[in-house]
Amino acid sequence: MKVDVLLGLQWGDEGKGKVVDVLTPRYDVVARFQGGPNAGHTLEFEGQKYVLRSIPSGIFQGDKVNIIGNGVVLDPALFKAEAEALEATGHKLKDRLHISKKAHLILPTHRMLDAAYEAAKGDAKVGTTGKGIGPTYTDKVSRNGVRVGDILENFEQKYAEAKKRHEQILKSLNYEYDLTELEKDWMQGIEYLKSFTLVDSEHEINNLLRDNKTVLCEGAQGTMLDIDFGSYPFVTSSNTVCAGACTGLGIAPNKIGEVYGIFKAYCTRVGAGPFPTELFDETGDKICTLGHEFGSVTGRKRRCGWIDLVALRYSIMVNGVTKLIMMKSDVLDTFPLIKACVAYKMNGEEIDYFPYSIDNNVEPVYVELPGWEMDMTNMQSEDEFPEEFNAYLTFLEEQLGVEIKIVSVGPDRAQTIERYTEE
């Protein structure tokens, strides 16, 4: 048995949570493989709206096993608040949510370090969520991290040593802080964490595969935020690409099956960093308003622009995407003209590949396509798609070389249409 992987192909916020929720009935297990509470997956169904930060998006579908893998970084206080909010709405977690002992813990001082480092960068700041993600991954790589499994043995000593080391750094940065309330909530989160099933997730997942259980691996953020292949240094601190599922869950590369790549019908980005197709006009504002483009974790307004096929082709290549899923098609319902970036102009030369570095000197080369100017939010099948929308899909498939298998025409679970369905 192989695992399937679902991940974002742009700069995050593509709608991964909704699709995981839609696909979960086909799987026995949903496993999150990287990122932390900086990722916000929004799901809407039955008149309710939920935002998940650390918990896998398969948690709402019956008795499926959900796993937080070793590649995830976990803040016990934020996890406790998220889990208790879900339990208050009737979604039981403790009997079906398993947490890897090898996942690293975000300490209160990690959050302070995050803020201090950003303040020190001044105008060169990356625009992090301030959740302590970067400093936690830094400690992990430098072999100074505190892991979930550590809460079961000699925890007080390990925590005190890490806190002391962080406070020395904060002192050198002249950063003033107060840990009192933050640490209190965090310690309560640690006790709460102990009530869950803590596992060696690499063994659990591989045993499930041997038992012919189906597994969907859920990624966070997006490919263009990957620490190695994204628009560095304006990236996250983990591997958001398909290979991250192997290292973040303990799965061998030959166990990867389908790779679902998710993208919006346009493009967005949060925080600083290059964005070749960004729009600074009324069109950009309209996309933002119609798409409700505000961060589910930070609330920050997202930068909006036309779809970037150069970056998408790159993402498809590094992930080995086998099926595409297009989100927020309905946001473009009222546009008479739609643009798609098919190449870049750099230093007077036109290129169709994603280069080592992009900056504000990159000029997008656009192709213009007619809009469909029709409300698609109530459509139930691809047979109802307007001709112009079908032409847009065909154009994208020709450009990207992969079929668009699923199209989303609204935020609700029910507003999801599968294409190329078998008779």
Smallest CA-to-CA distance from 41 within 24, 25, 29 is with 24
Q: Which of 4, 13, 114, 226 is catalytic?
A: 13
64, two tokens: 């499926």
Q: Which of 4, 21, 41, 110 is catalytic?
A: 41
**Active site (annotated) includes residue 13:** yes
Task: Count CA atoms within 13 Å of residue 217 on its CB side.
Answer: 39
**Active site (annotated) includes residue 412:** no
CA gap 218, 30 in Å, rounded: 7
282, two tokens: 């009324």
Is residue 327 within 8 A of residue 14, CB to CB? The reply is yes
Smallest CA-to-CA distance from 319 within 3, 2, 1, 6 is with 6
Smallest CA-to-CA distance from 60 within 35, 112, 23 is with 23
Sheet of strand 65-68: strand arrangement: 197-199, 97-100, 65-68, 29-32, 215-218, 3-8, 256-264, 323-327, 404-408, 416-418
Tell me the C-alpha to C-alpha distance, in Å, between residue 354 and each of 25, 40, 129, 270, 276.
36, 27, 26, 20, 11
Q: What angle do CA 36, 268, 399 make, to 5 degrees?
A: 110
Residues taking part in catalysis: 13, 41
